[in-house]
Structures are given as C-alpha cells and as structure tokens.
Amino acid sequence: MSRNGVDIGITGVGVVSPAGWGLPVMLECLRSQQPVPTIAQKVPETGHEYLRRPVPKPAELNAIFRTPRLRRSSAVSRYMCAAAFEALGEHGLAKVRSDNFRLGIVVSCYTGCVNYSERFYKEVLEDPITASPIVFPETVFNAPSSHLSALLESSEMNYTLVGDESQFLSAIELGINWILDEGMDGVLVAAGEENNWLSAEGLSMFREMPVLGEGGCALLLEPCDGGEVRVEAITDRLSYNSLLSRDEVLRSMRAQLPDETKADLLLESMNEEGVWDDFTGQKINVCALMGEGFGVSTAWSCAAAAGFLRAGDIHSAIVSGIGMDQSCAAMVVSK
Amino acid sequence: MGFFSTLDRHEQGYRVVITGVGVITPIGCGWSCNSAGFRSGKVALTPVELFDVTRQKAKIAGQVHLPSHLPENQLTLRQQKRLDRAGTMLLMAGSEAFTTSGWDLNNIDSTLPLFLGTSAGSMELGEKFYRDAVERKTRRHQAERICGYQTHRQGLTLCEAFGIQGTVTIISNACSSGANALGHAFRQVQKGHIRRAVAGGYDALSEMVFAGFDSLSALSTTTPRPFAHDRDGLGLGEGAALFCIERMDDAISRDGRIYAEIGGYGAVTDRHHLTQPHPEGVAAYQSMKRACDEACVNPVDIGYINSHGTGTPLNDSAEGHAINRWAGNAVKSLPVSSTKGGIGHLLGGAGAVESAVCLMAMEGGWIPPGVPVENVDPICQFDLVHAERDCSRLPVTLTNSFGFGGSNASLIFKGIN
C-alpha cells in the first residue's frame, strides 16, 4: 500500500534486547522460542523482589559510548544509540551525516530515563543542595533523542513521544508523514526502556509477578522502490476511555486492518485479551521471551517482523501494539 | 485511519485557524484576566509554597492559584478528586478552549485528536509514589498514582471530562513541547490528515524539576530579568494553554470566531550540547526562518516577537544573536519581549501559553512588556519592550520556544481581516 505512489520501507533495523546486542541474536532467540533467563532482583528500598531480564554486557565496549555525549548518559540513551548505529550501518551513517540528507528523528518511550530520575529524586530528598547537576539533564524525556541527533549530526526535526506499547506504531506513522509531508529523506524511529524497581513496582499493581525486559530498537524509514520491507498499513492509535469499552476499541482497531488473514505471522503484546484468537498463522509474543519492555516491546516486534521478512521466513506480518491502559494500534508489514 | 487517513488531500495545504483558546497561568485563570495581566506586565512570581525550598538556592516561582470549583464537566466525583495540579490546569484550559470555540462537542463528526506538550506531566504523583514506596507505607493509593502519573492519562481524562473520543498524542520535547504540540497539530490539519484538533501544552511545578534547575544553577536567586546584562537565571512557573484549531474554511462556514491563522511552523534541532544552546543561536535562527518562509512573511512584517527569553545568560545571548541575524536591517524596529519574567518558565506549557499571549496582543492591539530592565544586554539590537505599549495594529506575531536537548520551535500567527 502506498500513499501518493510512494512506498515507505524499513531500510535499517537495530536492536538491543535481553537476548543481546543486535538483531540477529534476538531473531535467534525468537526462533528458538526459548525465553531469556530471568534474574530475581532484590530492592533494598522496599524489601520487595522483582524479576527482570537485563541486557547482557556487550562483548566489547561500543566506541560510541566513549563519545562525550554518551559518557554519562542513561542506559536507555545507550541502548537507543547502539540500535541506531546498527540500523544505519557504516554506509547509512555516512549517508545520513551528509549535508544533502534530511534525517528526522522520532523517539518513543514510556518510562524514560527512570534510573537517573530515581537517583536524582533520592538525592533531592536527602539534600537538594548536593543533588547532581550532571544526572538531572539525563532524566528529561528527550535526552536520548537529543543524543541521537548529536551523534547522527542531524539538525532536522526531532520529537519524543511518550506513550504505552501502542506509541511506537504512531511514531512510525509520524515518520512516514515526515517523509511524505515534510520532505525528509529518511526518519529514524527509535525506542528504549531500562529496568528499574519503580517500573516493576508500578507494573505489579496490574500483573502478578511481571518480568521486566529492557533495551532499545531503531528502524530507518525511507522511500523505497521494491525489494525492501514495506509498511503496508498502520491503524489509528485508538484510546481506551470511559466512553467505549476496551473490547469495542480493540474490535475497531482490527476492523481497520486490511486483509489481515493473509499475514503469516502475528507479533503479539502482553495485553491481547483474545483479540487475535482467530488468527490462524504463527504467533510470537516477544514480551514472553524478552520480558515486558513497555515502550520498546512493540519496537522489538517491528524489528522482528522486518528481520523475518528480510530473511524470507514470511511474506507478511501483523504487529500488534495493544497497550496496557492507554491505547492500541496495529501495523502490517510485508516484502 | 492512520497511514491511509489523508482526507481529501490538498496540494497547497489547508489554511488553519485557531477558534478556541483556554489559558491558566500564575496571573489567573482565563483569557480576560491573563490578557489584562500580560498587557500591564504583571509579575506573578511569589515565594514557593508548594514544597519545601529552604535547602534550595532559588526561592520563588510562578504558582497557579487553582479555583475552588471545577468548570462543568462529565468526570465522576472520584475522578475529580484524583486530579493532580497538572490535570486540573489542563481541565480548566480545556473548558475555556471548548467554550470559546463554539464547537458542539456532541456533534463532532469523528474523533477529536488531542496533541499535548508536557515536560514533567504528572511528576507530583510520581514523587508521591516514590516517597510512599521507599517509606514502605500502605500501597492503598499507589495504583491510582501509577495510573495518574502516566502523562497520557491526563489527556484521556480531559477527553472524558468533555465527552470527546480522541487519540491523545504526548510530545515531550522539554521546553518547546507546547509549541511543538501546537505546530504538529497545525501540520496535521494543514496536510489534511485531520479536520480539527485540540492542542497545547501544560506543566505543573514539582519538587524534582525545581531542584533539577536549581542544581544546574539555572534559577535566578534574585529576580528573573530576561535580556538584562546582569541577568542571573530563570524563574520556574506552571500553567496550561489549549487551542481549538480547524481548517479555515470550516471555521468560516460555521461562522466561528477566528483568533488568528497559524501561518508557519519551524522546528529545528540544536546539536551543540544537551543543556546549552549554540552560542550564536544557529538552530534558533533556522527555526524562525523556516516558520517565516512557510508563512511568506519577512522580519519587517513581524509586529512582535514573544521570545523564549528565559533569563539565563546563555539562552538570551544565543537568542539575541539569532534574532539579530534573522531580522537583519529590520532588527532595530522589531518589538521583542519575554513574558517569562512575569510568570516564570512554564516548561512544557511555555510555548502554548506564549502563543496565547501573542493572540491576546493581536486582539487587543498592544505589546506585552517584559519586566523592567535597567541595564539591557548589548546583544539586544532589537526593540526590547519593558513598559506598557499600545499599537494600532498587530497583524503578524512570532513566538519562540527553545528547549533543553536542543529542540527549537517557532510559530507565526497572522491576523484575519
């Protein structure tokens, strides 16, 4: 499906996940259907314990982490930047850094830089006069996107969107609109989340013994003329509210998808509630294997869909971005 | 519907107008009292009462006095009780925006998208959640706090309060969030993706954010005085502004009140540093230029600039450089002021409230004065307005919002004859 005769493709994919650094290790994990081992993390502050699937330490330190911008940055910034560099590759990096390439950046996140936020607020409660001026800037929602712009040398538009598991799909739609409406040559859409006991504490109010995941993901969107993974359709992001039942909202979302039964693969979230029960193709729940990654979960699903399409494993996939308590959306991709 | 949603695409883009405005600031609640306050250059910074600042360097901020009663809405009493400061301000601004728009919310033909800019969202609830968790208190209110803390929830509550079915988009680009949200909504209507939208920005004061700016020594320990040679920082504030925007032809056909046309939107990223602008305001220059190019106006056409003008040494200098370069020969007669000296820096709410200030000035025919400055920074080659001033006509205004992290946005408003 195209708009105004232009197809938008996912031309680059990068992933940091509990499975490791890079898209191939995540795809391998998803193919094997073996969940990443969990770690029980004790929280001294509360006496509680929570389960997490952390990102493993990289085999070697990525050179970009030594740049001044990332030296003191949060984990979430590092995950996103590493994913972005993988998505672009050397050739893509040179291309987007050139003067004649307009690169927009859209970041989607849910909990943001929660570790530094916790650390900074703890310092404030102890004594604000000694609270760290180095930590505070990294707590701001758009710090990761700022680092991305700096490292990719882009002065073009840069938005940070805050929302649940459905948000990443809206971020892709925004990226597509920037290419079609604003004349961007490409848009990098990224997401990232990091483990923290506050997120676990919050999630545990709604789910028994949740397992947290963390990491980053980046997709490069560009106009394409065939051969690439194409974005076929994205539904509206439909909000849950008291005016409609959640069931009605989910049904509306499905009703917007064209020819959904043709998809070979469904990438699910943790909040499906039977909405895809009649889907007959293969299903993969990324969160069940990687842990609940909040805003990055759907990004991983998109990356996985693109990865399987590139590998020729499937022809078409649906990514379901059903958020826990805000909204839902879905996307169809094919090759 | 998403990717396929372009309505009746118009190659040139639709003209987009503002037909409803709601605003709440430390000056007061509503268009009239804010208009009077901004016209006279009222200063509404007071000693901080919302949290303890005895161990912080700065002691004042612009605090909103919330009214004792909410405007008519459809929230349950329980939902109303759960509203935090930010959510309450959003509801106040929304009520006024919808009322002034003349929109019949019961008969809007489709969903009404909501684009909100915020930097801290409901930090107040996040802080309470953290404190109760570490103090190992009862978890009684923790679930509702974690729901309310999610920025999205405030937007959804606004929708529920007025019975609208809308998709909520939260843009968190730090201090330019409000301008980005309005600019983004403008672009969505202009390009035909939607017919109308509600957009704006908000932020409430919070202990953590106050301490953050204080730790950076960005807050004034005396009096915030943007563009003064001896300025020593900004004052924080809180507030909200929301706008109802729609296609001009729709507004005209229903005989709606038009406050102004949104003529142009420029958004550029400053890559210089996470917390410091490029010294010569390169991105600020670009964002003003892009907005003007889109609006087909030149600096000489601009009747007033509501500058970002935080009052920090680095921001005002960079913005001054950018305005001088952008305006060129027109700079000396270009009226510029910063209203942050009067109400503080509203962070995610700043770009939206300052857009509302531009509309007030255009309607009333006056320039909003900044706080009096004895020793003006020599960077100000422009006409820095710091006393009450009327003008017969103000057809075009520009507002700048330059955010932490390098997010820069400029908006142009044009009067409609």
Report CB contact under 8 Å: B170, A164: no
Which of A124, A149, A177 comes nearest B208 by C-beta?
Answer: A124
Work out the average pLDDT over B271-292.
96
Matching CATH number, B17-253, of 3.10.105.10, 3.40.50.720, 3.40.47.10, 3.60.9.10? 3.40.47.10
Residue B96 tokens read as: 């006024």
Model pLDDT, residue B2: 47
Distance of CA B408 to the CA centre of its chain: 13
CATH 3.40.50.2300 fits B265-414, yes or no: no
A&B contacts, CB < 8 Å: 200
- HEC sequence for chain B: CCCCCCCCCCCCCCCEEEEEEEEEECCEECHHHHHHHHHHCCCCEEECCCCCCCCCCCCEEECCCCCCCCCCCCCCHHHHHHCCHHHHHHHHHHHHHHHHHCCCHHHCCCCCCEEEECCCCCHHHHHHHHHHHHCCCCCCCHHHHHHHHCHHHHHHHHHHHCCCCCCEEEECCHHHHHHHHHHHHHHHHHCCCCCEEEEEEEECCCHHHHHHHHHCCCECCCCCCCCECCCCCECEECEEEEEEEEEHHHHHHCCCCCCEEEEEEEEEECCCCCCCCCCCCHHHHHHHHHHHHHHCCCHHHCCEEECCCCCCHHHHHHHHHHHHHHHHHHHHHCEEECCHHHHCECHHHHHHHHHHHHHHHHHHCEECCCCCCCCECCCCCCEECCCCEECCCCCEEEEEEECCCCEEEEEEEECCC
Which of B151, B207, B406 comes nearest A149 by C-beta?
Answer: B406
pLDDT tens digits, one per residue of B282-299: 999 999 999 999 999 999
Q: Which residue, A110, A76, A10, A107, is CA-closest to A327?
A: A110
Q: Does position B184 have pLDDT exceeding 80, yes or no?
A: yes
Is the Cβ–Cβ distance between A314 and A27 less than 8 Å?
no
Minimal Cα–Cα distance from A150 to chain B, Å? Answer: 5
Q: Could you tell me which residue, B417 or A156, shows the higher pLDDT?
A: A156
Distance of CA A114 to the CA centre of its chain: 16
**CA-angle at A221, arms to A220 and A227, nearest 5°:** 100
Is the Cβ–Cβ distance between B271 and A154 less than 8 Å?
yes
Q: Where are the domains of chain B?
A: 17-253, 265-414
Which of A155, A205, A326 comes nearest B146 by C-beta?
Answer: A205
- B111 pLDDT band, cuts 50/70/90, is confident
Out of B308, B358, B380, B386, the active site residue is: B308
CA distances for A31 relative to A37, A303, A318, angstroms: 16, 14, 17
Report CB contact under 8 Å: A149, B151: no
Record the pTM: 0.97
- The A residues from 74 to 133 touching B (CB cutoff 8 Å) are 105, 117-118, 120-122, 124-125, 127-129, 131-133
Q: Which residues of B touch A145 (CB under 8 A)?
A: 405
Q: Does position B3 have pLDDT exceeding 50, yes or no?
A: no
Q: Which residue, B242, B232, B241, B204, is CA-closest to B341?
A: B232
Question: Helix, strand, or coil here: A106?
Answer: strand
Model pLDDT, residue B137: 74
Q: Does position A260 have pLDDT exceeding 90, yes or no?
A: no
Instruction: State the burial class of residue A208 (Cβ atoms within 10 Å of its Cβ: 0-12, 13-18, 19+).
Output: exposed
Region of residue A308 (left: phi > 0; alpha: psi -120 to 50; beta: else): alpha
- B270 pLDDT band, cuts 50/70/90, is very high
**How far apart are the C-alpha atoms of A193 and A79, rounded to whole Å?**
8
CA torsion sign for B121, B242, B347, B326 is positive
Distance of CA B338 to the CA centre of its chain: 13
Model pLDDT, residue B4: 44
Which of B9, B139, B208 comes nearest A121 by C-beta?
Answer: B208
Summary mean pLDDT of chain B: 94
Q: Which residues of A touch B121 (CB under 8 A)?
A: 162
Q: Which residues of B touch A132 (CB under 8 A)?
A: 215
Model pLDDT, residue B220: 98
Model pLDDT, residue A241: 79
CA distances for B67 relative to A170, A276, B88, B197, angstroms: 36, 47, 9, 26
**How far apart are the C-alpha atoms of B285 and B288, rounded to whole Å?**
5
Annotated active-site residue B358? The verdict is no
State how beta strands A229-234 and A211-213 pair: unpaired
Report CB contact under 8 Å: A243, B119: no
As a whole number of Å, the CA-based R_g of chain A is 19
What percentage of chain A has pLDDT greater than the value 90?
Answer: 82
Report CB contact under 8 Å: B119, A149: no
- Residue A10 DSSP code: E
Disruptive mutation site among A126, A148, A162, A237 for chain B (greatest number of B CBs within 10 Å): A162
pLDDT tens digits, one per residue of A2-11: 667 789 999 9
**How far apart are the C-alpha atoms of B91 and B74, rounded to whole Å?**
11
Model pLDDT, residue B1: 41
Contact A28/B at CB under 8 A: no
Minimal Cα–Cα distance from B214 to chain A, Å? Answer: 8
Disruptive mutation site among A81, A121, A174 for chain B (greatest number of B CBs within 10 Å): A121
Is the Cβ–Cβ distance between B263 and B297 less than 8 Å?
yes
Using CA coordinates, name the residue in chain B closest to A324.
Answer: B147
- The A residues from 207 to 236 touching B (CB cutoff 8 Å) are 231, 233-236
Minimal Cα–Cα distance from B337 to chain A, Å? Answer: 26
Q: Which residues of B touch A243 (CB under 8 A)?
A: 159-160, 163, 165
Q: Could you tell me which residue, A204 or B357, shows the higher pLDDT?
A: B357
Annotated active-site residue B147? The verdict is no
Is the Cβ–Cβ distance between B277 and B314 less than 8 Å?
yes
Using CA coordinates, name the residue in chain A closest to B406.
Answer: A146
Least confident of A200-214, B206-220, B309-323: A200-214
Q: Which residue, B152, B352, B153, B405, is CA-closest to A161?
A: B152
Least confident of A39-43, B55-59, B143-147: B143-147
Q: Torsion angle of alpha carbons A225, A227, A228, A234, nearest 10°?
A: 70
Is the Cβ–Cβ distance between B191 and A159 less than 8 Å?
no
Q: Which residues of A touch B266 (CB under 8 A)?
A: none
Minimal Cα–Cα distance from B166 to chain A, Å? Answer: 7
Model pLDDT, residue A205: 86
Q: Which residues of A touch B57 (CB under 8 A)?
A: 129
**CA-angle at B230, arms to B225 and B233, nearest 5°:** 50
Minimal Cα–Cα distance from B263 to chain A, Å? Answer: 16
Q: Which residues of B touch A235 (CB under 8 A)?
A: 1-2
Using CA coordinates, name the residue in chain B closest to A198.
Answer: B130
Report CB contact under 8 Å: B2, A235: yes
Q: Does position B6 have pLDDT exceeding 80, yes or no?
A: no
Q: Does position B324 have pLDDT exceeding 50, yes or no?
A: yes
**How far apart are the C-alpha atoms of B214 and B58, rounded to whole Å?**
7
Q: Which regions of chain A carry the CATH code 3.40.47.10?
A: 7-224
CA distances for A190 relative to A105, A299, A312, B40, angstroms: 8, 8, 24, 45
Question: Helix, strand, or coil here: A334?
Answer: strand
CA distances for B50 relative to A259, B205, B219, B288, angstroms: 55, 8, 17, 36
Model pLDDT, residue B314: 96
Report CB contact under 8 Å: A141, B2: no
Residue with the two structure tokens 């000056």: B27
Contact A327/B at CB under 8 A: yes
Minimal Cα–Cα distance from A292 to chain B, Å? Answer: 17
Annotated active-site residue B175? The verdict is yes
pLDDT tens digits, one per residue of A82-98: 999 999 999 999 999 99
Which of A127, A234, A325 comes nearest B55 by C-beta?
Answer: A127
Q: Which residues of A touch B214 (CB under 8 A)?
A: 128, 131
Which of A121, A140, A233 comes nearest B405 by C-beta?
Answer: A140
Report CB contact under 8 Å: A241, B156: yes
Which of B151, B159, B274 comes nearest A143 by C-beta?
Answer: B274
Report CB contact under 8 Å: A140, B167: no
Domain A7-224 top-level CATH class: alpha beta
Contact A196/B at CB under 8 A: no
Report CB contact under 8 Å: A124, B207: yes
Residue B325 tokens read as: 């370069």
**CA-angle at A132, arms to A127 and A138, nearest 5°:** 130
Model pLDDT, residue A87: 98
**How far apart are the C-alpha atoms of A235 and B387, rounded to whole Å?**
52
Minimal Cα–Cα distance from A55 to chain B, Å? Answer: 25
- A261 pLDDT band, cuts 50/70/90, is low
